[in-house]
Amino acid sequence: MSHIFPRSMKSSPPMAVGGKGCYLFDASGKQYLDASGGAAVSCLGHGDTTVINAIKAQLDTLAYAHTGFFTSEPAEKLADLLIEHAPSTLDRVYLVSGGSEAAEAAIKLARQYFVEKGEPKRGRLIARKQSYHGNTIGALSAGGNEWRRAQFAPLLLDMSHIDPCYPYRLQNEGESDADYGLRSANLLEQELLRVGPETVMAFMAEPVVGATAGAVAPAPGYFKRIREICDQYGILLILDEVMCGMGRTGTLFACEQDGVAPDILCIAKGLGAGYQPIGAMLCSSQIYDTIGAGSGFFQHGHTYMGHPTAAAAALAVVNSVLDRGLLKAVQKQGDALKLALNERFVQHANVGDIRGRGLFLGLELVTDRGTKAPFDPAHKLAAKIKAAAFDAGLICYPMSGTIDGKTGDHILLAPPFIIEDAQ
């Protein structure tokens, strides 16, 4: 009997024993094409020797030093590299161990910033329905995944959730993309006015929605208007690029494509590419300096933050993505994969939408393309597709997102950036 506490107690997954390039292998020798990089993690594929050697060299030098006592060379170099390429508003990097930790740190930083700035009434976060920011209590409170939130409702923080920018379902017939982008962004202003802008500290959103909706990119102009509203009412913009960042959409940061620069940005997944657990929260010097000139201490932290070995891995990953021209590869292979999905499925009765950016693509499944009616949740369609694909040696990521109780089934594809045409 296994003593592992698995994610699902109703299944017994095979034992993974190896990985090479875009493939994983189980103990029976079966090969799987990793078409979702786990959950959009393995951007360099498996067995990348550059990253492995960087980790080995760091272990030989220094595995770990607590950030309460030391900084380390890989952490400093990683922070420099990220800031060199990040939107110009961002100036400081707080290294953590994953996406939920990055989101949690972002929420707490926003709150502490306003306390130290002398605006202690600002404590409310506005986020969006059908979003995901992680599984810890703060991040789960910000997220709008009804299924994940349901049984923890009494523990969750009071936050606002507005409709996401979700063209397939929420754009009106005959409404232009630009008009929809504007109308959707203006929901933030309406919510600010409803709750009282002086009580709000930040708006938090994924530039391209991943884990709840399958690669939903915003309508044009959406984030520009969001930025304007944030500035007008003096609230911070937190962008969560844990899934869509680090090159996944074809630019190092997804928000570059929307011409928007946040005050706080979260990254993880592709940052460590699966070689080490690592995430980061980037913030502006305005936030950093306000706290620096006040208490001078961010009331937050984790034992493994700024981990030298994880930082060395991430440094090698980000340098590989930049130096090997992988952003271009993502754009090229993303276009090719989207075209292939369209050729294959655009007429399929049960495929309502094919969407996404770069190698971050989603299919939305419906019972009828005309009515866009979703499948009955009891059908567990996305889970069934995952299982059938897995049997056939293909890993894709299923998800069921919900808006106001209405469920939709989605399949996410997020293969490694090194994926080849035939694969």
**In this complex, which beta carbon is closest to ligand PLP, that of residue 208 or of residue 291?**
208
Encoding tokens for residue 247? 């090159």
R_g over Cα of the chain = 21
Q: What is the DSSP string of 364-419?
A: EE-SBTTTTBPPPGGG-HHHHHHHHHHHTTEE-EEEEEEETTEEEEEEEE---TT-
> Do residues 273 and 48 make contact, with C-beta atoms less than 8 angstroms apart?
yes
Angle between helix 308-323 and 73-85 (nearest 10): 40
Q: Classify 347 in phi/psi space as left (phi over 0), alpha (psi -120 to 50) or beta.
A: alpha
Quick check: 159 binds ligand PLP (CB under 6 A)? no
d(CA 312, CA 51): 8
Establish how many alpha carbons lie within 13 A of residue 95's alpha carbon, considering only the half-sphere containing its beta carbon: 32
Binding-site member from 34, 146, 189, 240 for ligand PLP (CB under 6 A)? 240
Minimal distance, residue 212 CB to ligand PLP, in Å? 8
Return the residues of window 334-363 that contact ligand PLP according to CB under 6 A: none
Q: Classify 246 in phi/psi space as left (phi over 0), alpha (psi -120 to 50) or beta.
A: left
Quick check: 92 binds ligand PLP (CB under 6 A)? no
Which residue, judged by CB position, is nearest to ligand PLP in the bound state? 99
Minimal distance, residue 327 CB to ligand PLP, in Å? 20
Quick check: 248 binds ligand PLP (CB under 6 A)? no
Quick check: 242 binds ligand PLP (CB under 6 A)? yes
Binding-site member from 79, 86, 268, 311 for ligand PLP (CB under 6 A)? 268
d(CA 311, CA 278): 7
Minimal distance, residue 101 CB to ligand PLP, in Å? 7
**In this complex, which beta carbon is closest to ligand PLP, that of residue 243 or of residue 291?**
243
Quick check: 246 binds ligand PLP (CB under 6 A)? no
Minimal distance, residue 155 CB to ligand PLP, in Å? 17
d(CA 100, CA 140): 9
Quick check: 39 binds ligand PLP (CB under 6 A)? yes
Minimal distance, residue 92 CB to ligand PLP, in Å? 20
Binding-site member from 210, 250, 358, 415 for ligand PLP (CB under 6 A)? 210
Return the residues of window 104-143 that contact ligand PLP according to CB under 6 A: 132-134
What helix, strand, coil percent values describe the chain, rounded to 5? Answer: 40, 20, 40
∠ CA 397-204-150, nearest 5°, is 60
Quick check: 305 binds ligand PLP (CB under 6 A)? no
Minimal distance, residue 174 CB to ligand PLP, in Å? 32
Minimal distance, residue 349 CB to ligand PLP, in Å? 30
d(CA 324, CA 363): 29
**In this complex, which beta carbon is closest to ligand PLP, that of residue 36 or of residue 100?**
100
Sign of CA dihedral 268, 270, 272, 277: positive
Minimal distance, residue 104 CB to ligand PLP, in Å? 9
**In this complex, which beta carbon is closest to ligand PLP, that of residue 134 or of residue 308?**
134
Quick check: 37 binds ligand PLP (CB under 6 A)? no
Minimal distance, residue 134 CB to ligand PLP, in Å? 4
> Do residues 271 and 78 make contact, with C-beta atoms less than 8 angstroms apart?
no
Task: Tell me how far apart the terminal alpha carbons of the chain are, to the nearest angstrom.
Answer: 37
Query: Residue 30's Cα: distance from chain center in Å?
Result: 30
Binding-site member from 74, 99, 181, 358 for ligand PLP (CB under 6 A)? 99
Q: Which residues bind ligand PLP (CB under 6 A)?
A: 39, 98-100, 103, 132-134, 206, 210-211, 240, 242-243, 268
